[in-house]
A and B are shown apart, each in its own frame.
Chain A
Amino acid sequence: MNETLLLIIEWTIKGGLLAFGLATGFAYTTFYERKWAARLQIRIGPNRTGPGGWLQPAADGLKLFFKEEFTPANAYKFAFNLAPVLTMVPAIVIMAVIPWGTQIDFFGRIIPLGISNELNVGVLFLLSVASVSVYGIVLAGWSSNNKYAMLGGLRSTAQMISYELALGLSFIGPIMLAGSLNMAEIIRAQQQGVWYVVYLPLAAVVFYIAALAEVNRSPFDMPEAEQELTAGYHTEYSGMKFSLFFMGEYIKMIAVSAICATLFFGGFDGPFVNTYPLLGPLYLGIKIFISLGLMIWIRATMPRLRYDRLMAFGWKVMLPLSLFNVVWAAAVIVFFNVR
C-alpha cells in the first residue's frame, strides 16, 4: 500500500489512542482523587456504582451528557463556546512529545511509541503549548459576562503567566545536562547516566510547584476558590462544556506528571525496558500514577494560599530559585563532569 497513506493511518490511530487513553485516564483520575482523598480523610468515598464504586466515572460522564447545555443571554456566544475547546485541545496536544517507549515491531513495521518523540524542539514545544492553554481561561472569564467568572479568569491568567516563568526556567537544567531539546534524547541521556532528579533535586521541586500552579491545583486553586468566587471562570458553564473544562484540567494534571517523569525521573526508563519496549508505557504510567497521588495528597492536606501571597511567592521566591537552578546545573556539569 501507499506509504503516505499508511503513515497517516498510523498517526491517526496513535492520536486516537492517546486521546481515548487520556479521556479514560481523566475519568479514573477523578475516581482516584475521590477514593484516595477519602482515605486520607478517613472516609470511604464512592462505593455504590459497580463493584467497589469502579463504574462511578462512567456514570458521571453519562450523566453530564444528559445535562442541559446552557448559555446565558448576555454571554458572547462565539468565545463562550470556543473557550472549553481551547482548554481541552492544548491539554491533549502537549502530550504529543512525551515518549512512551522506544519503538515496537508491529508485524514487520517499526512503530515508535509516542506521537513525535524525536521532535528537535521538544521542550520548547511543551512550553509553547502550555502558554496557549491560558486562552481557554481568559476567554471563559470574559465571555461569560459574569463578575465571578471575570475575576476568576483574570486571577487565573495572572497566576498562570507568573508561574510559567519558573516552569520554563526549571526546564533549563535537564536541557543543559542532556545538551538537547529533544525529549527522547533527554531520556537516552538519563538511561546512560542517572535520573536527573539526583543532580537537580531543587529544580524538580520548583518544577512540581510551578506545575501545580500552572494547572490550578490546590493549594494554588485560587481561580476557582469556591468560597469567594463561586466557581471562578467556569461559573456559567454547564453540561458537556463544563465537563470539557474539567477534562482539560485533569488531562493537564496527567500531562505535567508525564513531563515531570520525563525530565527528572527517566520517563519510560525502568528495568528491562530496552529488551521489552512495551514495558515503557507501563513504567511511565506508574510514574504518572505516583505523581497524581502526590497531587491529591497535597490537595487533601494543604489550605489554599491567599492571592497576594500566591503572586508574591511566584515572583519573589520561585523566579529567583529557578534562576539559581540554572547556575546549579552549570556547577553540576563543571564539578561532576556528568555524562
Chain B
Amino acid sequence: MVTNLLTDYWPILVLLLVSLGFAGIAMGGGLLLGPRRSSARKQEAYESGMRAIGPGTRQMPVRFYLVAVLFILFDIEVIFFLPWAVVFRQYYENGLGAFILLEMLVFIVILLVGYAYAWKKGALEWE
C-alpha cells in the first residue's frame, strides 16, 4: 500500500518514467528506421564546410563562471523569499505587517549593497 503521505509524489515519479520511456522510444525508433551511411569526412566537426581547425572545446571565458556564481547567490536569496512569502499574509492579518516587511527589507537592502558593488565593479557588463 502506498502511504498517504507520498501520494503527491508517486505520480511525479510515474510521469518521469513515462517521459523517459517516451524519449527512449523516439530515439530507438530513429536508430532502427534511419539509414546509416557514414564516412570519415562526414564524421568531422561541422565548421561551415571547411576542415575543422583546432579542438572543438576550448577553455571557457571566466565571465561565464562569474555569472554562475552570482546566479547561485541570488538563487539562494529567492529561496529565502519563499517561506517568507508564504507567511506574509498571516503576519499581516495578525497585525505584524510592519515587522515582517521590515525584516525582509533589511534582508534585501543588505543584498542590494552587494548588487550595487557588482554593478559598480562592472561585473554585470558584458564586453
Contacts and interface: CB of A to CB of B under 8 A. Distances in A.
Interface of A: 3-4, 7-8, 11-12, 14-16, 18-19, 23, 64-70, 72-74, 81, 84-85, 88-89, 92-93, 96, 115-116, 118-120, 123-125, 127, 131, 142, 144-150, 154, 157-158, 161-162, 164-165, 168-169, 172, 175-177, 179-181, 230, 235-236, 239-241, 243-244, 247, 307-308, 311-312, 315-316, 319, 323, 326, 329-330, 333-334
Given A150-B57, A162-B71, A240-B27, A85 B85 contact: no
A124 B5 CA distance: 18
Contacts of A142: 57
Given A15-B18, A73-B43, A315-B124, A175 B8 contact: no
B126 to A, nearest CB: 4
Contacts of B94: none
Contacts of B89: 176-177, 179, 333
Contact of A68 (B34, B48, B87): B34
B34 A69 contact: yes
A7 B18 contact: no
A316 to B, nearest CB: 6
A85 B14 contact: no
Interface residues on B, range: 35 or more
A96 B15 contact: yes
A146 B119 CA distance: 33
B81 interface: yes
B114 interface: no
B8 A116 contact: yes
Contacts of A73: 40, 43-44
B30 A158 contact: no
Interface of B: 1-2, 7-12, 14-20, 22-24, 26-27, 29-31, 33-38, 40, 42-48, 52, 55-58, 60, 63-64, 67-68, 70-71, 74-75, 78, 81-82, 85-90, 92, 97, 101, 104, 108, 115, 119, 124-127
Contacts of A145: 45, 55-57
A236 B58 CA distance: 17
Given A4-B2, A15-B19, A69-B34, 13 more contacts: A72-B43, A74-B43, A74-B45, A81-B27, A146-B46, A164-B75, A165-B78, A179-B86, A181-B82, A181-B86, A240-B26, A316-B124, A333-B89
